[in-house]
Amino acid sequence: MKFPSPVSVTWIAELINAKIQGNVNGLCLGINEIHKVEEGDLVFVDHPKYYKKCIDSLASFIIIDTSTECPPNKALLIVEQPFEAYQKIVEHFRPFHHQTSMIHPSATIGEGTVLAPNTFIGEDVIIGKNCTIHPNVTILSHCILGDNVVIESGTVIGSDAFYYNSKKNRPVWYKKMKSCGRVILHNQVELGAGCTIDRGVTHDTIIGEGTKLDNKVHIGHDVVVGKNCLFAAQVGIAGATVIEDGVILWGQVAVNKTLTIGANAVVMAKSGVPSSLVGGKVYFGYPAEEANTKKRELVWIKRIPEMWEMLKRINNKE
């Protein structure tokens, strides 16, 4: 999430009651999580395992629970509970506002766009021209839709990320990280019935121009989908994954988090993708491998009983 305007690190420190170590003159441009962090961003870390990763990242400001070495151009904001400090910043810049009307007065809806009955449009939503939004669609706050977007009934855009701070030394192990990112749908995107598109935790979930989703597709937080992709029913994509242009995922494909599927790859139905795939190839199975290789493996697996009987006969003759 980018702040409305740059904010001094001293102001942030005052907001969260933090001690500053390092650059006290810096300006924070926004808050982000480690998978999406950019220069000028603020990030938090509360486990020694990830201290170095955060400090060495592009982040300029790190909310942390201890003093440690830091490059001179960066700043540490030292607090007892970095996660709670992160939550306080999100609450300040993107607070939750209870909404009673179906269409928020701050929403912008383009010329020629049709909203069917029972469509919910949240705060600061922007919808482009000539879109068709079918009944019972929910578009939650700060999401952006381009022109000529079609959304079928029952789809939810901008639901909170499935993203938790985990600590087993407290009564509630999993505490929800407040989601302050958005969902951005570019021009000519079509979403089927019953899809769920999570907003980014701090960055944006993005679906590129011309991409089409079948019914009951789930897109996790901070996922970036390229142009002209095609996802069949019940595809599920976990958080912070990158799907490049022209990718086809057939029915019930499951894609793991923080990986990349290269441009123009095709993943056949019911496959599982646990790690990144090179573009321009056809994949199948779990773990997903090139389809021709996987099919040959299945043929040989089916021949195992025959081969076993052959070996037994050879042994008996000896």
Active site residues: 221
Residue 155 three-state SS: coil
* Share of the chain residues as helix, strand and coil, in percent rounded to the nearest 5: 15, 30, 55
CA dihedral 199, 205, 209, 214 (to 10 degrees): -60
The DSSP 8-state label assigned to residue 147 in this structure reads T
Residue 212: beta bridge partners? 190, 230
Angle at 249 between CA 247 and CA 251, to 5 degrees: 165
Structure tokens at 97: 């506002």
C-alpha to C-alpha distances, 135 to 104, 116, 138, 214, nearest whole angstrom: 17, 5, 9, 17
Separation between Cα atoms, residue 43 and residue 54, nearest integer Å:
7
C-alpha to C-alpha distances, 120 to 59, 108, 178, 205, 213, nearest whole angstrom: 36, 13, 21, 19, 20
177, amino acid identity: M
Question: 262: which residues sit within 8 A by CB, 6+ positions away?
Answer: 244, 247, 276, 277, 278, 279, 280
287 prior amide bond cis, ω within 30: yes
Residue 82 three-state SS: helix
Separation between Cα atoms, residue 158 and residue 197, nearest integer Å:
6
Number of Cβ atoms within 10 Å of the Cβ of 6:
12
